[in-house]
Structure 1
Amino acid sequence: LVESSADSWRFYVVHEQGERGSTASGSGVFFRDLTLEHLSADQDDISGRYFLQNTNSWYVADVDAASTDDGGDILQWSFNGNENQLWQLVQNADGTYRIESVNSGKVMDVEGASTADGANVVQWSWQDGANQKWNVVLNSDGTYRLENVNSGKVLDVAGSSSSEADSLVQNGWTGADSQKW
Protein backbone atom coordinates (compact mmCIF):
# COMPACT_ATOMS: atom_id res chain seq x y z
CA LEU A 1 0.00 0.00 0.00
CA VAL A 2 1.31 3.43 -0.87
CA GLU A 3 -0.04 6.81 0.21
CA SER A 4 1.28 10.02 -1.27
CA SER A 5 1.00 13.75 -0.83
CA ALA A 6 3.10 16.39 -2.56
CA ASP A 7 6.66 15.01 -2.68
CA SER A 8 6.46 12.38 0.05
CA TRP A 9 5.15 8.84 0.13
CA ARG A 10 4.25 6.40 2.88
CA PHE A 11 4.98 2.75 2.13
CA TYR A 12 3.43 -0.06 4.13
CA VAL A 13 5.47 -3.22 3.64
CA VAL A 14 3.90 -6.54 4.60
CA HIS A 15 6.10 -9.57 5.35
CA GLU A 16 4.39 -12.92 5.84
CA GLN A 17 7.16 -15.27 6.96
CA GLY A 18 8.42 -13.48 10.07
CA GLU A 19 11.51 -12.21 8.26
CA ARG A 20 13.43 -8.98 8.84
CA GLY A 21 11.42 -7.55 11.70
CA SER A 22 7.93 -8.59 10.69
CA THR A 23 5.44 -10.34 12.89
CA ALA A 24 4.58 -14.02 12.54
CA SER A 25 2.66 -15.02 9.44
CA GLY A 26 -0.89 -13.74 9.55
CA SER A 27 -0.58 -12.01 12.92
CA GLY A 28 0.04 -8.42 11.97
CA VAL A 29 1.76 -5.95 9.75
CA PHE A 30 5.25 -4.46 9.90
CA PHE A 31 5.54 -1.00 8.33
CA ARG A 32 8.19 1.60 7.76
CA ASP A 33 7.79 5.23 6.70
CA LEU A 34 9.98 6.56 3.93
CA THR A 35 10.21 10.10 2.66
CA LEU A 36 11.53 10.61 -0.84
CA GLU A 37 12.61 13.97 -2.16
CA HIS A 38 13.02 14.97 -5.77
CA LEU A 39 16.42 16.52 -6.39
CA SER A 40 16.81 18.92 -9.28
CA ALA A 41 20.01 19.85 -11.07
CA ASP A 42 20.36 22.93 -8.87
CA GLN A 43 19.71 20.97 -5.67
CA ASP A 44 22.54 18.47 -5.52
CA ASP A 45 23.60 18.70 -1.86
CA ILE A 46 22.06 15.65 -0.20
CA SER A 47 23.39 16.37 3.29
CA GLY A 48 21.10 14.93 5.93
CA ARG A 49 20.48 11.96 8.20
CA TYR A 50 19.97 8.52 6.67
CA PHE A 51 19.70 4.85 7.51
CA LEU A 52 21.84 3.16 4.84
CA GLN A 53 20.01 0.01 3.77
CA ASN A 54 21.79 -2.55 1.58
CA THR A 55 19.85 -3.60 -1.51
CA ASN A 56 21.08 -7.21 -1.39
CA SER A 57 20.46 -8.07 2.27
CA TRP A 58 18.03 -5.31 3.35
CA TYR A 59 20.15 -4.92 6.48
CA VAL A 60 21.48 -1.47 7.41
CA ALA A 61 24.97 -0.11 8.05
CA ASP A 62 25.57 -0.38 11.81
CA VAL A 63 28.51 0.49 14.09
CA ASP A 64 29.09 -2.78 15.96
CA ALA A 65 27.93 -2.74 19.59
CA ALA A 66 27.30 1.04 19.32
CA SER A 67 31.05 1.59 19.72
CA THR A 68 32.30 5.14 20.10
CA ASP A 69 35.97 4.13 19.68
CA ASP A 70 38.24 4.80 16.71
CA GLY A 71 38.40 1.56 14.72
CA GLY A 72 34.87 0.47 15.62
CA ASP A 73 33.75 -2.05 12.99
CA ILE A 74 30.93 -1.18 10.63
CA LEU A 75 28.76 -4.10 9.66
CA GLN A 76 25.27 -4.89 8.44
CA TRP A 77 22.54 -5.52 11.00
CA SER A 78 18.78 -5.71 11.28
CA PHE A 79 17.13 -2.31 11.40
CA ASN A 80 16.37 -1.22 14.98
CA GLY A 81 16.35 2.57 14.58
CA ASN A 82 19.18 3.18 17.06
CA GLU A 83 21.66 6.00 16.51
CA ASN A 84 24.53 3.59 15.74
CA GLN A 85 22.58 2.88 12.52
CA LEU A 86 21.87 6.52 11.71
CA TRP A 87 24.34 8.36 9.48
CA GLN A 88 24.79 12.08 8.82
CA LEU A 89 25.97 12.87 5.30
CA VAL A 90 27.91 16.15 5.39
CA GLN A 91 29.02 17.73 2.14
CA ASN A 92 32.66 18.82 2.13
CA ALA A 93 33.86 21.98 0.35
CA ASP A 94 35.08 19.85 -2.60
CA GLY A 95 31.62 18.29 -3.12
CA THR A 96 32.48 14.93 -1.58
CA TYR A 97 30.80 13.68 1.60
CA ARG A 98 31.86 12.49 5.00
CA ILE A 99 29.52 9.92 6.47
CA GLU A 100 29.28 10.46 10.24
CA SER A 101 27.79 8.07 12.78
CA VAL A 102 25.16 10.01 14.71
CA ASN A 103 25.97 7.85 17.74
CA SER A 104 29.74 8.46 17.89
CA GLY A 105 30.38 11.50 15.70
CA LYS A 106 33.08 9.49 13.92
CA VAL A 107 33.17 8.96 10.15
CA MET A 108 33.26 6.00 7.78
CA ASP A 109 36.93 5.36 7.06
CA VAL A 110 38.70 2.79 4.89
CA GLU A 111 41.06 1.25 7.42
CA GLY A 112 44.70 2.23 6.97
CA ALA A 113 43.86 4.24 3.82
CA SER A 114 44.02 0.94 1.95
CA THR A 115 43.33 0.83 -1.77
CA ALA A 116 42.90 -2.97 -1.83
CA ASP A 117 39.69 -4.84 -2.54
CA GLY A 118 38.24 -6.24 0.67
CA ALA A 119 39.74 -3.56 2.93
CA ASN A 120 37.65 -3.13 6.06
CA VAL A 121 35.52 -0.03 6.65
CA VAL A 122 35.57 1.28 10.23
CA GLN A 123 34.68 4.48 12.05
CA TRP A 124 37.42 6.97 12.89
CA SER A 125 37.74 10.54 14.09
CA TRP A 126 37.52 13.00 11.19
CA GLN A 127 41.00 13.86 9.86
CA ASP A 128 40.04 15.16 6.40
CA GLY A 129 41.71 12.15 4.77
CA ALA A 130 40.77 10.98 1.27
CA ASN A 131 40.00 7.56 2.80
CA GLN A 132 37.26 9.31 4.82
CA LYS A 133 35.65 11.06 1.85
CA TRP A 134 32.96 9.52 -0.32
CA ASN A 135 31.22 10.35 -3.57
CA VAL A 136 27.51 9.54 -3.54
CA VAL A 137 26.62 8.26 -7.02
CA LEU A 138 23.06 7.68 -8.24
CA ASN A 139 22.72 4.37 -10.09
CA SER A 140 20.38 3.96 -13.07
CA ASP A 141 18.01 1.79 -10.97
CA GLY A 142 17.49 4.54 -8.36
CA THR A 143 19.85 3.08 -5.75
CA TYR A 144 23.14 4.70 -4.73
CA ARG A 145 26.75 3.60 -4.50
CA LEU A 146 29.20 5.15 -2.06
CA GLU A 147 32.58 5.55 -3.74
CA ASN A 148 35.69 6.15 -1.64
CA VAL A 149 37.76 9.10 -2.89
CA ASN A 150 41.12 7.56 -1.94
CA SER A 151 40.67 4.18 -3.62
CA GLY A 152 37.89 4.72 -6.15
CA LYS A 153 36.26 1.58 -4.73
CA VAL A 154 32.72 1.34 -3.38
CA LEU A 155 31.15 0.41 -0.07
CA ASP A 156 30.23 -3.30 -0.20
CA VAL A 157 29.31 -6.14 2.13
CA ALA A 158 32.13 -8.68 2.60
CA GLY A 159 31.57 -11.64 0.29
CA SER A 160 28.32 -10.07 -0.99
CA SER A 161 26.80 -11.66 2.09
CA SER A 162 23.13 -11.45 2.97
CA SER A 163 23.84 -12.56 6.56
CA GLU A 164 23.54 -10.36 9.61
CA ALA A 165 26.77 -9.13 11.26
CA ASP A 166 29.02 -9.33 8.20
CA SER A 167 31.48 -6.45 7.87
CA LEU A 168 31.38 -3.65 5.36
CA VAL A 169 34.40 -3.43 3.06
CA GLN A 170 35.42 -1.68 -0.13
CA ASN A 171 35.57 -3.39 -3.52
CA GLY A 172 35.78 -2.39 -7.15
CA TRP A 173 32.38 -1.51 -8.62
CA THR A 174 30.68 -4.49 -10.30
CA GLY A 175 27.07 -3.38 -10.02
CA ALA A 176 26.24 -6.18 -7.57
CA ASP A 177 23.29 -5.54 -5.25
CA SER A 178 25.63 -5.78 -2.24
CA GLN A 179 27.23 -2.54 -3.49
CA LYS A 180 23.94 -0.66 -3.73
CA TRP A 181 22.35 1.35 -0.93
Structure 2
Amino acid sequence: MKKESAIFAGGCFWCMVQPFEEQPGILNVTSGYTGGHVPNPTYEQVCSGQTGHTEAVKIEFDAAVISYEQLVTIYWQQTDPTDALGQFQDRGDSYRPVIFYQNETQRKIAEASKAALEASGRYNQPIVTTIEPAAAFYPAEDYHQQFYLKNPRRYHANHALRAQYLADVWGDSDEA
Protein backbone atom coordinates (compact mmCIF):
# COMPACT_ATOMS: atom_id res chain seq x y z
CA MET A 1 0.00 0.00 0.00
CA LYS A 2 1.12 3.51 -0.81
CA LYS A 3 -0.82 5.75 1.60
CA GLU A 4 -1.22 9.41 0.65
CA SER A 5 -3.72 12.16 1.39
CA ALA A 6 -5.52 14.91 -0.50
CA ILE A 7 -7.48 17.92 0.77
CA PHE A 8 -10.32 19.47 -1.22
CA ALA A 9 -12.85 22.19 -0.44
CA GLY A 10 -16.03 22.40 -2.48
CA GLY A 11 -18.81 23.95 -0.46
CA CYS A 12 -20.47 22.08 2.37
CA PHE A 13 -18.22 19.22 3.39
CA TRP A 14 -21.29 17.01 3.85
CA CYS A 15 -21.63 16.84 0.07
CA MET A 16 -17.96 16.11 -0.59
CA VAL A 17 -17.62 12.84 1.33
CA GLN A 18 -19.76 10.28 -0.52
CA PRO A 19 -18.33 10.80 -4.04
CA PHE A 20 -14.84 10.04 -2.79
CA GLU A 21 -15.70 7.46 -0.16
CA GLU A 22 -17.31 5.22 -2.80
CA GLN A 23 -14.13 4.93 -4.87
CA PRO A 24 -11.80 1.92 -4.73
CA GLY A 25 -8.58 2.71 -2.88
CA ILE A 26 -10.12 5.26 -0.52
CA LEU A 27 -9.09 4.51 3.04
CA ASN A 28 -10.84 7.35 4.89
CA VAL A 29 -12.61 10.65 4.23
CA THR A 30 -12.72 13.18 7.08
CA SER A 31 -14.77 16.38 7.09
CA GLY A 32 -12.96 19.31 8.64
CA TYR A 33 -11.59 22.82 8.49
CA THR A 34 -8.39 24.19 7.00
CA GLY A 35 -6.72 27.39 5.92
CA GLY A 36 -7.57 29.55 8.90
CA HIS A 37 -5.76 31.19 11.78
CA VAL A 38 -7.58 29.75 14.82
CA PRO A 39 -6.36 26.39 16.17
CA ASN A 40 -9.02 23.68 16.57
CA PRO A 41 -11.99 25.78 15.42
CA THR A 42 -15.57 24.73 16.04
CA TYR A 43 -18.27 24.64 13.39
CA GLU A 44 -19.88 27.72 14.91
CA GLN A 45 -16.57 29.62 14.81
CA VAL A 46 -15.98 28.70 11.17
CA CYS A 47 -19.54 29.67 10.22
CA SER A 48 -19.02 33.07 11.86
CA GLY A 49 -16.48 33.88 9.15
CA GLN A 50 -13.95 35.08 11.73
CA THR A 51 -11.47 32.17 11.64
CA GLY A 52 -10.46 32.20 7.97
CA HIS A 53 -11.13 28.46 7.66
CA THR A 54 -12.70 26.67 4.74
CA GLU A 55 -14.84 23.54 5.07
CA ALA A 56 -12.91 20.73 3.41
CA VAL A 57 -12.43 16.98 3.23
CA LYS A 58 -9.19 15.15 3.86
CA ILE A 59 -9.00 11.98 1.83
CA GLU A 60 -6.57 9.23 2.75
CA PHE A 61 -6.04 6.91 -0.19
CA ASP A 62 -3.92 4.08 -1.51
CA ALA A 63 -2.04 5.63 -4.42
CA ALA A 64 -1.37 2.12 -5.73
CA VAL A 65 -5.14 1.81 -6.36
CA ILE A 66 -6.33 5.36 -7.11
CA SER A 67 -4.14 8.26 -8.16
CA TYR A 68 -4.17 11.85 -6.99
CA GLU A 69 -4.93 12.80 -10.58
CA GLN A 70 -8.07 10.64 -10.47
CA LEU A 71 -9.11 12.31 -7.23
CA VAL A 72 -8.71 15.75 -8.79
CA THR A 73 -10.91 14.65 -11.70
CA ILE A 74 -13.58 13.47 -9.26
CA TYR A 75 -13.24 16.79 -7.42
CA TRP A 76 -14.02 18.85 -10.55
CA GLN A 77 -17.14 16.74 -11.06
CA GLN A 78 -18.44 17.66 -7.58
CA THR A 79 -18.11 21.45 -7.68
CA ASP A 80 -18.92 24.57 -9.65
CA PRO A 81 -15.39 25.79 -10.39
CA THR A 82 -16.72 29.10 -11.73
CA ASP A 83 -18.11 30.27 -8.37
CA ALA A 84 -15.51 31.72 -6.01
CA LEU A 85 -18.09 32.95 -3.49
CA GLY A 86 -19.27 29.54 -2.31
CA GLN A 87 -20.91 26.49 -3.80
CA PHE A 88 -24.57 26.19 -4.72
CA GLN A 89 -26.72 27.27 -1.73
CA ASP A 90 -23.65 27.49 0.53
CA ARG A 91 -22.31 31.04 0.40
CA GLY A 92 -19.23 32.68 1.89
CA ASP A 93 -15.49 32.18 2.22
CA SER A 94 -15.86 29.03 4.32
CA TYR A 95 -17.48 27.35 1.29
CA ARG A 96 -15.10 28.49 -1.43
CA PRO A 97 -13.68 25.90 -3.87
CA VAL A 98 -10.01 25.09 -3.23
CA ILE A 99 -7.58 22.32 -4.02
CA PHE A 100 -5.06 22.26 -1.16
CA TYR A 101 -1.84 20.65 -2.35
CA GLN A 102 0.58 18.96 0.04
CA ASN A 103 3.62 18.74 -2.18
CA GLU A 104 4.98 19.95 -5.50
CA THR A 105 3.71 16.88 -7.37
CA GLN A 106 0.15 17.53 -6.18
CA ARG A 107 0.46 21.21 -7.12
CA LYS A 108 1.58 20.35 -10.66
CA ILE A 109 -1.19 17.79 -11.12
CA ALA A 110 -3.83 20.21 -9.85
CA GLU A 111 -2.56 23.08 -12.04
CA ALA A 112 -2.44 20.85 -15.15
CA SER A 113 -5.92 19.53 -14.46
CA LYS A 114 -7.29 23.05 -13.98
CA ALA A 115 -5.68 24.18 -17.24
CA ALA A 116 -7.18 21.18 -19.06
CA LEU A 117 -10.62 21.96 -17.65
CA GLU A 118 -10.29 25.60 -18.72
CA ALA A 119 -9.24 24.53 -22.23
CA SER A 120 -12.07 22.00 -22.51
CA GLY A 121 -14.72 24.67 -23.10
CA ARG A 122 -17.08 22.87 -20.69
CA TYR A 123 -17.68 26.17 -18.87
CA ASN A 124 -18.41 29.56 -20.43
CA GLN A 125 -17.01 31.39 -17.38
CA PRO A 126 -13.47 31.38 -15.99
CA ILE A 127 -12.38 28.58 -13.66
CA VAL A 128 -11.83 30.36 -10.34
CA THR A 129 -11.11 27.43 -8.03
CA THR A 130 -7.86 28.25 -6.28
CA ILE A 131 -4.91 25.91 -5.78
CA GLU A 132 -3.23 26.65 -2.47
CA PRO A 133 -0.67 25.04 -0.17
CA ALA A 134 -2.21 22.85 2.50
CA ALA A 135 -2.37 24.19 6.04
CA ALA A 136 -3.30 22.51 9.31
CA PHE A 137 -6.41 20.37 8.92
CA TYR A 138 -8.78 20.08 11.88
CA PRO A 139 -11.41 17.32 11.85
CA ALA A 140 -14.96 18.59 12.26
CA GLU A 141 -17.18 17.51 15.10
CA ASP A 142 -18.34 13.88 15.07
CA TYR A 143 -21.88 14.72 13.97
CA HIS A 144 -20.46 16.05 10.66
CA GLN A 145 -18.54 12.85 9.85
CA GLN A 146 -20.28 10.65 7.24
CA PHE A 147 -23.30 12.95 7.44
CA TYR A 148 -24.83 11.42 4.32
CA LEU A 149 -25.16 8.08 6.17
CA LYS A 150 -26.30 9.48 9.53
CA ASN A 151 -28.87 11.98 8.17
CA PRO A 152 -29.90 10.84 4.68
CA ARG A 153 -33.00 13.04 4.37
CA ARG A 154 -31.20 16.21 5.40
CA TYR A 155 -28.21 15.28 3.23
CA HIS A 156 -30.36 14.72 0.14
CA ALA A 157 -32.23 17.98 0.70
CA ASN A 158 -28.89 19.81 0.99
CA HIS A 159 -27.41 17.94 -1.97
CA ALA A 160 -30.33 18.34 -4.42
CA LEU A 161 -29.26 21.65 -6.00
CA ARG A 162 -25.67 20.42 -6.38
CA ALA A 163 -26.81 17.11 -7.87
CA GLN A 164 -28.98 18.83 -10.50
CA TYR A 165 -26.21 21.23 -11.48
CA LEU A 166 -23.65 18.43 -11.78
CA ALA A 167 -26.03 16.31 -13.87
CA ASP A 168 -26.61 19.28 -16.20
CA VAL A 169 -22.87 19.96 -16.61
CA TRP A 170 -21.42 16.46 -16.53
CA GLY A 171 -24.28 14.08 -17.32
CA ASP A 172 -22.77 10.59 -17.21
CA SER A 173 -19.31 11.82 -18.19
CA ASP A 174 -16.19 10.59 -16.43
CA GLU A 175 -13.98 13.18 -18.08
CA ALA A 176 -12.60 16.42 -16.70
TM above 0.5: no
Point out the structure with the larger helix share: 2
**TM bin (shorter chain):** under 0.3
TM-score (norm: length of structure 2): 0.24
Structure whose CA Rg is larger = 1
Q: Which protein, 1 or 2, shows the higher relative CO under an 8 Å CA cutoff with sep ≥ 6?
A: 2
TM-score (norm: length of structure 1): 0.23
Point out the structure with the larger strand share: 1
